[in-house]
A = this chain, B = another copy of it.
Amino acid sequence: MTTNMETLRTIMEHRSIRRYKPDPIPEGLLNEILEAGLRASNTGNMQVYSIIVTQSHEVKEQLAPCHFNQPMVTEAPVVLTFCADIHRFGLWCQQRDARPGYDNLLWFCNAAIDAVLAAQNVCIAAEAHGLGICYLGTTLYTPLRIAQVLRLPQGVMPVTTVVMGHPAEQPELQDRLPMRGVVHRERYGAYSPNDIDAIYAAKERLPLTERLLVENKLQTLAQVFTERRYPHADNLAFSRGLLEALAQQGFMYHDDMHSGG
């Protein structure tokens, strides 16, 4: 058994890149990276996902507000929108005397998992080529607006977005929780208050944390998340929008009478 140390190094040295040089990604290289995405595990080898590759300034400008105008959306040469997609598979079924039945939440989840596995393969392949990437979580906040810009039909739902290009910055590795904070053995182990203190202690001691508390005039780092970054009212509004988008894009038929699309 030989070990491929280069692969491990690529993974361990990942940092999200938010500033990009204007240089384009050559077409051959981009295709090689996308091929890596297609090799990912997927549900039943049905490949119920699609990747939208946006490179034109015009469409990137339209996508930018969907991602709260983060500058990297227009600065990075390539924007990839990974979508759950039962539309293509459904068309094939209809052309082959088969009645699809995938317009429900289970298949949104299956297809979303497929899309994310493909995305991570693409990101690791890009990093193996010395490119930088950043995931945009904003995708799930504005799915209908993205669907409109990218002309996604019923049965297609954006799940995550990746910007990609030549890094114009080299940030430090980000902190992570200690492994015992995230990994459980055999079964889920209950956390005591002391466990929680220990798991978050290093994060709470970071210089960044001190800076955030001063800037935000708050007492704890947890409050920075709950009161500034991801407050409850916003989460509720975006979550309701997500449910609406799932319904509108055709993933919420949970009724026997409906024959699936």
Contact = CB atoms under 8 A, between A and B. Distances in A.
Interface of A: 1-12, 14, 16, 31-32, 34-36, 38-41, 43-47, 49-56, 59, 83, 88-89, 91-93, 95-102, 104-107, 109-110, 112-113, 116-117, 119-121, 123-125, 127-130, 134-135, 137, 140-141, 149-153, 156, 159-160, 166, 174-177, 179, 181-188, 190-191, 193, 196-197, 199-200, 219-223, 225-227, 229-233, 235-236, 238-240, 242-243, 254-256, 259-260
Nearest to A80: B183
One complex includes copies of this chain to the number of: 2
A191 B16 CA distance: 34
A199 B89 CA distance: 10
A191 B88 contact: yes
A124 B7 contact: yes
A238 B46 CA distance: 18
Contacts of A123: 41
